[in-house]
Amino acid sequence: MISAIGTGIALKNEDEFNLENRRYNKIILMVDADVDGSHIATLLLTFFYRFMRPLVTGGHVYLAQPPLFRVSTNKESRYCWSIEEMTKLTARGNTKVIRFKGLGEMDADELAETTMNIATRRLVKVEIDDINDAEIILSTLMGKNIADRKSYIVEHSKTRELED
């Protein structure tokens, strides 16, 4: 991945990283649209933040948003990126719902249409609003201090909605 991007990485010296050597203007991370995919995306974003931060702060890192469902009727098929979208479409009745468990379970045509086609794909640009907040959260959640991580998760779990 480091070689493919071309910038090098900043381990101890920022001079080891050269943004001008990047081979791509957009680095698009494609992971499954489930909890496991979110965990993988978090690990990858942590890597980019720690070792290739100018790619992130320069607006070059994106997350692809694959759909969660395909809802089909006799006349058409539509993709849904949330449970709410799927619920609205299935309220009409006579629908068939396919839940995508991962990118590998999508047909090549579906993956191309929903996640890879520039005209139809959905991308989210990774942005950092406050570098100090990002550093604190990343150090807490991805750092070595287990007690701090557990405390943060327990404290903030009460304010987050859980997905099924």
Q: Are 111 and 96 in the same domain?
A: no
The Cα 51–Cα 1 span in angstroms is 12
HSE (side-chain half, CA atoms, 13 Å) at 153: 10
Do 81 and 60 touch, CB atoms closer than 8 A? Answer: no
pLDDT in tens, 113-152: 899 999 989 999 999 998 888 888 888 888 888 898 888 8
pLDDT in tens, 4-42: 999 999 887 667 889 999 999 999 999 988 888 888 998
Q: Are 17 and 29 in the same domain?
A: yes
Looking up tokens 């287990």 gives 146
Q: How many domains does the chain have?
A: 2
HSE (side-chain half, CA atoms, 13 Å) at 54: 15
Q: Are 13 and 58 in the same domain?
A: yes
pLDDT in tens, 85-122: 999 989 878 899 999 878 888 889 989 989 999 998 99
Which domain, by its residues, includes 77? 67-101
- Residue that is last in its domain, among 101, 116, 146: 101
Q: Do the domain assignments include residue 119?
A: yes
pLDDT at 13: 67
Q: Are 74 and 29 in the same domain?
A: no
Q: Are 89 and 14 in the same domain?
A: no
Q: Are 76 and 86 in the same domain?
A: yes
pLDDT in tens, 61-72: 999 999 999 999
Do 18 and 7 touch, CB atoms closer than 8 A? Answer: yes
Residue 50, classed as helix, strand or coil, is helix
pLDDT at 141: 86
Mean pLDDT of the chain: 88
pLDDT at 137: 85
Q: Are 25 and 71 in the same domain?
A: no
Q: Are 54 and 110 in the same domain?
A: yes
pTM for the model: 0.81
